[in-house]
Amino acid sequence: MKKTLKIVALLLIFSLVITGCKTSTIYNVQQHKVSYKKSSETVYRAIRGAGQSLGWHIHKIRPGVAQGKLHLRSHTAIIRITYTRSSYSIRYVGSKNLKYNSQKNTIHSNYNSWIQNLERAIDSRL
């Protein structure tokens, strides 16, 4: 009985480790519409503010293009955000320690959660 419990416990731990390290197809935001047209600068300020509230460091590269970096523990994600008065897009640029696979276009599933949280935060500010 004790041996069976040990095997069940080991299988449970193994399954938790495997599911905790799951990868998924990279989530990119494509031409997400802004509900009411705003100035380009207003859209950028909403993006920057939303990002900062979630720990992203976002800076403008040039009008209509911003870059974001997120550092969590030993993980880093880098994104490119393009924006206009009426829409914005978020695309993956690079990462460190997130199990990125360029051939399969996959990454650690936490990355997708971070991008979806950023998208929701931007929307709430716009």
Distance, C-alpha 36 to centroid of its chain: 24
In a domain, 2, yes or no: no
Residue 11 lies in a domain: no
pLDDT tens profile 24-57: 999 999 999 998 888 999 999 999 999 999 999 9
**Other C-beta atoms lying within 10 Å of the C-beta of residue 42:** 15
CATH number at residue 77: 3.30.310.80
Asked if the structure places residue 4 within a domain, the reply is no
- Looking at the domain assignment, is residue 66 inside a domain? yes
Residue 1 in domain: no
pTM reported for the whole predicted model: 0.81
Residue 108, C-beta contacts closer than 8 angstroms, at least 6 positions apart = 21, 22, 23, 24, 75, 98, 99, 100
Q: How many domains, in total, are found in the chain?
A: 1
> Which domain does 104 fall in, by range?
22-125
20, pLDDT greater than 60:
no
Q: How far apart are CA 123 and CA 50, in angstroms?
A: 9
Domain presence at residue 92: yes
Taking the C-alpha atoms of residue 49 and residue 57, their distance in angstroms, rounded to an integer, is 10
Q: 5 is written with which tokens? A: 């419990």
pLDDT tier, 4 (very low <50, low <70, confident <90, very high otherwise): low
101 falls within a domain: yes
70-126 pLDDT, tens digit each: 999 999 999 999 999 999 999 999 999 999 999 999 999 999 999 999 999 999 999
Is 82 domain-assigned? yes
